[in-house]
Amino acid sequence: MENKALTVVKSNKVVEASYKLTLMEQRILLACIAKIKSKEVLLEDNHFEISAMEIVDLVGLNHASRAYEALEEAANQLSKRQVIINNPDTDKPKTKRLVINWISSIYYQPGEGKVIIRFTHDMIPYLSNLSSNFTQYKLNNVMQFKSTYSIRIYEMLMQWKSTGKREIEVEWLKKQLQVENCYPLIADFKKWVINSSVLEINKHADIWVKYTQRKAGRTITHFIFNFGEKEPKKTTATKANGTKPLIPLFTGHPEYTVDSEAILGLINQKNGLSQHSSEALSTQGLQPKYRFQNRQ
């Protein structure tokens, strides 16, 4: 399957769960989750392969230096990582929290530069056979992020994609990212988590995002995110011979650094008009009197 077609699908319970992963651990998990057929039942013996070169390709790196070592190290740590899911089962309201591991086993194949993982029994219902209350997005929208926080915030926004707006409580977000003790100052939290994530999402993802904040007195209590799909990039059309189409004169287009009189003179020469004819046009007020200014 081509990378552009890979889609991550997660239960909203996992999107809003409390956990902390390194960037490489996130990439491994997401690459494997994207290979799950989310509408089908995932079995415990189903396994998922991820190679170092696959990660390199997904991230868009130019080289694979230490790629397998980084993959092996991250996979080893991933086997110990836990996720806390709040109110996991609506049929069991007394169960307030579920603490589980992401994966149950990992096989290393150093000769082939890849690892094989299996998800835990309790994690499977949140990744497969999903018919409602799930979030999905294209894998390539997050693989170039350099921060694991960017991935988490992007997922939380995509959960509310249909509205284009989400208000998130500051303390709740810190808890879900497991950074309650990392950024006691709100200025640091905004700088290293919120602002950096917004910058990366705007640069690499398929959506634009901006945010404001709500206060109680002097204390910032909520972030209000507004977001939407980016407009498709416009490409410059070319002629059959590979040249750019003509740009209308006198538009102030930055590619033109010569003045209008010089351009008109060239056109007159091409059309067989003399310099005298050109000057005559000018005296009749048919030639613009202004000059283009260079744009910086």
Q: Given this model, what pLDDT does residue 217 score?
A: 95
Walk me through the domains of the chain, giving residue ranges and CATH numbers.
Answer: 1-140 (1.10.10.10), 145-233 (1.10.10.10), 240-296 (no CATH)
Q: Given this model, what pLDDT does residue 272 score?
A: 55
Query: What average pLDDT does range 116-120 have in this prediction?
Result: 95
Indicate the range of 125-139, 193-207, 240-254 predicted with least confidence: 240-254
Q: Given this model, what pLDDT does residue 23 score?
A: 95
Q: Which helix (H) or strand (E) holds 55?
A: helix 52-59
pLDDT above 70 covers what percent of the chain?
A: 77
Query: What average pLDDT does range 15-40 have in this prediction?
Result: 94
Side-by-side strand order, sheet with 165-169:
165-169, 219-229, 207-216
- CA torsion through residues 76, 79, 80, 83, sign: positive
pLDDT tens across 54-74, in order?
999 998 877 677 888 899 999
Tell me the longest C-alpha to C-alpha distance in the chain.
94
* Short-list 111, 117, 130, CA closest to 68: 111
On the question of pLDDT at 42 being above 80, the answer is: yes
Q: Given this model, what pLDDT does residue 125 score?
A: 93
- pTM recorded for the entire structure: 0.77
Q: How many secondary structure helices (H) and strands (E) does the chain include?
A: 10, 10
What percent of the residues of the chain are helix, what percent strand, and what percent coil, each to the nearest 5?
35, 20, 45
Instruction: Please give the single-letter amino acid code of residue 128.
Output: S
Average pLDDT of the chain is 83
Query: What average pLDDT does range 188-210 have in this prediction?
Result: 97
What is the pLDDT confidence band of residue 188, given thresholds at 50, 70 and 90?
very high
* Short-list 201, 202, 225, 199, CA closest to 212: 225
Q: How far apart are CA 80 and CA 82, in angstroms?
A: 7
* Short-list 127, 111, 130, 110, CA closest to 119: 127
Q: How far apart are CA 38 and CA 286, in angstroms?
A: 67
On the question of pLDDT at 280 being above 50, the answer is: no
